[in-house]
């Protein structure tokens, strides 16, 4: 089975969702390691809860970002990782990782791309006049949220929703959309076992 790593910087609810989906065989891959770039990322607690190996890699310990990413590749090799799923990882991926994992790095973004790339995408979607937001899962390229879209869904904003409610609904949708996107590229497990 394909092995994957998740990269996160903060809360890690998408990480936990993917880990559970992997354990429940809802996605056709094994999440085998978590990489975090912040020592206080709550994602660490989630990894500990499941006994999943995790690594805090501190960019300050390296002379440059290339060295930081090379160190991460060393960890990923140890686990024979083929795919990287970004889940709230707040750092731009540079060419060292992009070249090593061509079309194998995937990100989730809380907007209907190409609308609202970058930060505060949920608030910016809520504040605009279009009346909808969304969730997009895409391959990672050198830009910010610009890679080829794998799967996305729109979320219509109900008139009675405030920003907090909209955010909650976006996060719920994320957990569904990330799994659907991964099934699209990794293949559905049941289909595979039939063939």
Residues 156-175 close enough to bind ligand GRF by CB under 6 A: 174
Q: Is 187 in the site for ligand GRF (CB under 6 A)?
A: no
CA quadruple 176, 186, 16, 35: dihedral sign: negative
109 is catalytic: yes
Residues 20-39 close enough to bind ligand GRF by CB under 6 A: none
Count interface residues toward ligand GRF (CB under 6 A). 13
**Which residue in the block uniquely carries the two structure tokens 């790095």?**
105
Q: Which is nearer to ligand GRF, 74 or 114 (CB)?
A: 114
Distance, CA of 56 to CA of 76 (rounded, Å): 13
Q: Is 108 in the site for ligand GRF (CB under 6 A)?
A: yes
Could you give the C-alpha distances from 144 to 94, 155, 166, 181, in angstroms and in order? Answer: 11, 22, 23, 19
Percent helix / strand / coil, the chain, rounded to 5:
40, 20, 40
Minimal distance, residue 17 CB to ligand GRF, in Å: 8
Residue pair 105/86 in contact by the 8 Å Cβ criterion:
yes
Residues 80-99 close enough to bind ligand GRF by CB under 6 A: 87-88
Q: Which residue is nearest to ligand GRF (CB)?
A: 88
Q: Is 13 in the site for ligand GRF (CB under 6 A)?
A: yes
Residues that are catalytic: 109
For binding to ligand GRF (CB under 6 A), which residues are involved? 8, 10-15, 87-88, 108-110, 174
């Amino acid at each position: 089975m394909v092995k994957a790593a998740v990269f996160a910087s903060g809360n890690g609810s998408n990480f936990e969702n993917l880990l559970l989906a992997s354990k429940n065989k809802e996605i056709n891959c094994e999440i085998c390691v978590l990489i975090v770039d912040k020592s206080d990322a709550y994602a660490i607690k989630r990894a500990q809860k499941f006994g999943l190996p995790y690594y805090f890699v501190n960019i300050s310990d390296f002379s440059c970002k290339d060295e930081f990413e090379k160190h991460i590749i060393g960890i990923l090799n140890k686990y024979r990782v083929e795919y990287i799923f970004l889940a709230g990882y707040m750092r731009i991926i540079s060419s060292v990782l992009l070249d090593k994992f061509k079309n194998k790095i995937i990100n989730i973004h809380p907007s209907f791309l190409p609308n609202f790339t970058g930060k505060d995408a949920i608030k910016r979607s809520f504040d605009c006049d279009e009346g909808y937001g969304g969730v997009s899962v895409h391959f990672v390229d050198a830009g910010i949220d610009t890679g080829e879209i794998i799967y996305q869904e729109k979320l219509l904003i109900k008139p009675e929703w405030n920003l907090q409610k909209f955010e909650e609904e976006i996060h719920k949708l994320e957990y569904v959309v990330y799994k659907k996107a991964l099934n699209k590229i990794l293949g559905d497990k049941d289909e595979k076992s039939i063939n």
